[in-house]
Structure 1
Amino acid sequence: MDAELFPRDRTQIAPGAVHVPDWLDARHQRELVTACRAWARPPAGLRTVHTPGGGTMTARQVCLGWHWYPYGYARTVVDGDGSPVKPFPEWLGELGRSAVRDALGEPGEPGTLGAPGRPRAPSPSYDIALINFYDSDARMGMHRDSDETADAPVVSLSLGDSCVFRFGNTETRTRPYTDVELRSGDLFVFGGPARLAHHGVPKVYAGTAPPELGLTGRLNITLRVSGR
């Protein structure tokens, strides 16, 4: 929106979990959409994910660096065309580290994950990107990002349609949780005590993407450190 009645401010949703509205400007959003379109092409392109219990995820996915499948990682698309996973670009890792600095502060700053009196936290070496595409009917159930062996913060970037992002607790998929509206260009980072919090997307607002993106639907780029 060009004129917000109530400006959207940076908000700590829970200790270690921060929402930064409008973090990506229009140019960077367009560049990321272009990159996502290239990554989505086969081989190792956009696919439908099936769970071991016979379920089907409504959001389609493509991976970089490591291929995620329920519930592990591989170097090939083991639940798809079997091709080697596309490489994780260094510039995307730099973007992730910049996101963590802006959301959680420099390592060693008061109030950050590496606060004084503790060992200085290294900058995360991101090596995984999960790109999820949501059409207007897609959802994501409450889950935890727990298949990594590293505890570095998760970085989430939103492009296209707005959505309701439900951020919960580490113990259960149910309440307490907080619903946050994520719009195109928004950043959400969660680490520290919030790293294993349950989260999901119960609703996508169709037709809310910025027209200049030329995107119908929502893209979510999630960056993680594998620890592998």
Structure 2
Amino acid sequence: MTGDLFAALRVPSVERIDDGAIWLRAFADEQVAVLVQAIDQVTAQAPFRQMQTPGGYTMSVAMSNCGELGWVTDRRGYRYQRDDPLSQRPWPAMPDVFVKLAVAAANAAGFDNFMPDACLINRYVPGARMSLHQDKNEGDMTQPIVSVSLGLPATFLFGGNERADKPVRMRLESGDVVVWGGPSRLRFHGVDTLAEGVHELTGQCRYNLTFRKAG
């Protein structure tokens, strides 16, 4: 079992992945429990759902959003919108603990003045994966992406500027944060198939919070 029982044993560290890409190990370890509680509060209002790609593929990762804007995909394409398509109401407000963590992580990675207006919440269960892709629907490409891992460990794939470039494989533990921007802002990235496991706070799943400046 992996979990926060062992969080105190981890020593926070900073690793440069590439120009503009930083791995903050154990950065959010002390906040995992409160972050998971906040996820539960958000998804009580905007439940997880498995969205469909423009090509008709149902994603293996379940998603929700909070903040002024939410990322969605369907037959019409990938986009951000202010209302949850399921409820036709605005997405839940971004919890303060989310905002403070995202800003602190961006600052630690060298990106000042980051203020996210969108947080995509992904839920992975064993067998789920995210294929290599670019985050390019955002309106402000000068701002970084801040990605927080919670729950089961996962293998993050950080590729190059072309889909065919071989990605770096990074085992992310609960509490790890990856930030990328600047020259690395449009790097391809994804998550390898999640392995079986149980986490004391999230059970048989992994959550990923991805903060963006979308508007």
* TM-score after normalising by structure 1: 0.82
Report the CA distance shift for 1:214/1:141 in structure 2 as closer, same or farther (over 3 A). Answer: closer
Of 44, 47, 50, which residue of structure 2 is paired with 1:48?
50
Do structure 1's residue 39 and structure 2's residue 79 form an aligned pair?
A: no
Residue by residue over 1:184-209, the C-alpha shift from the partner in whole angstroms, topping out at 9 and shown as x without a partner, is 01010001011111100012232153
TM-align CA RMSD: 2.2
Matches within 5 A, 1:91-102: 91-102=97-108
Q: Give the unaligned 5+ runs of structure 1.
A: 108-121
Do structure 1's residue 77 and structure 2's residue 84 form an aligned pair?
A: yes
Tell me the equivalent position of 2:160.
Answer: 169
Instruction: Please tell me whether the aligned partners of residues 70 and 80 of structure 2 are also in contact (alpha carbons under 8 angstroms).
Output: yes
Instruction: Please tell me whether the aligned partners of residues 168 and 199 of structure 1 are also in contact (alpha carbons under 8 angstroms).
Output: yes
Q: Give the unaligned 5+ runs of structure 2.
A: none
Cα deviation for residue 101 of structure 1 reads 1.6
Once superposed, which parts of structure 1, at least 4 consecutive aligned residues long, lie more than 6 Å away?
none
Q: Which amino acid aligns with 2:152?
A: D
Cα deviation for residue 9 of structure 1 reads 4.7
Instruction: Please tell me whether the aligned partners of residues 75 and 84 of structure 1 are also in contact (alpha carbons under 8 angstroms).
Output: yes
Cα deviation for residue 223 of structure 1 reads 0.5
Q: Which amino acid aligns with 1:223?
A: F
Q: Secondary structure at the match of 2:192?
A: strand
Report the CA distance shift for 1:214/1:98 in structure 2 as closer, same or farther (over 3 A). Answer: same
Instruction: Please tell me whether the aligned partners of residues 143 and 198 of structure 1 are also in contact (alpha carbons under 8 angstroms).
Output: yes
Query: What percent identity do the matched residue pairs reach?
Result: 33
Q: Secondary structure at the match of 2:34?
A: helix
Do structure 1's residue 10 and structure 2's residue 14 form an aligned pair?
A: yes
Instruction: Please tell me whether the aligned partners of residues 12 and 27 of structure 2 are also in contact (alpha carbons under 8 angstroms).
Output: no
Residue by residue over 1:39-70, the C-alpha shift from the partner in whole angstroms, topping out at 9 and shown as x without a partner, is 1124x321111011101110100101212113
Of 135, 147, 155, which residue of structure 1 is paired with 2:146?
155
Do structure 1's residue 217 and structure 2's residue 208 form an aligned pair?
A: no
Aligned residues: 203
Cα distance in 2 between the residues matched to 1:159 and 1:40: 15
Cα distance in 2 between the residues matched to 1:205 and 1:53: 27
Cα distance in 2 between the residues matched to 1:160 and 1:34: 12
Report the CA distance shift for 1:9/1:89 in structure 2 as closer, same or farther (over 3 A). Answer: closer
Q: Which amino acid aligns with 2:154?
A: C
Cα deviation for residue 215 of structure 1 reads 2.8
Do structure 1's residue 186 and structure 2's residue 193 form an aligned pair?
A: no
Cα distance in 2 between the residues matched to 1:215 and 1:22: 19
Cα deviation for residue 81 of structure 1 reads 3.5
Larger-gyration structure (1/2): 1
Cα deviation for residue 129 of structure 1 reads 0.4
Instruction: Please tell me whether the aligned partners of residues 124 and 205 of structure 2 are also in contact (alpha carbons under 8 angstroms).
Output: yes
Cα distance in 2 between the residues matched to 1:204 and 1:68: 22
Instruction: Please tell me whether the aligned partners of residues 38 and 95 of structure 2 are also in contact (alpha carbons under 8 angstroms).
Output: no
Q: Secondary structure at the match of 1:204?
A: coil
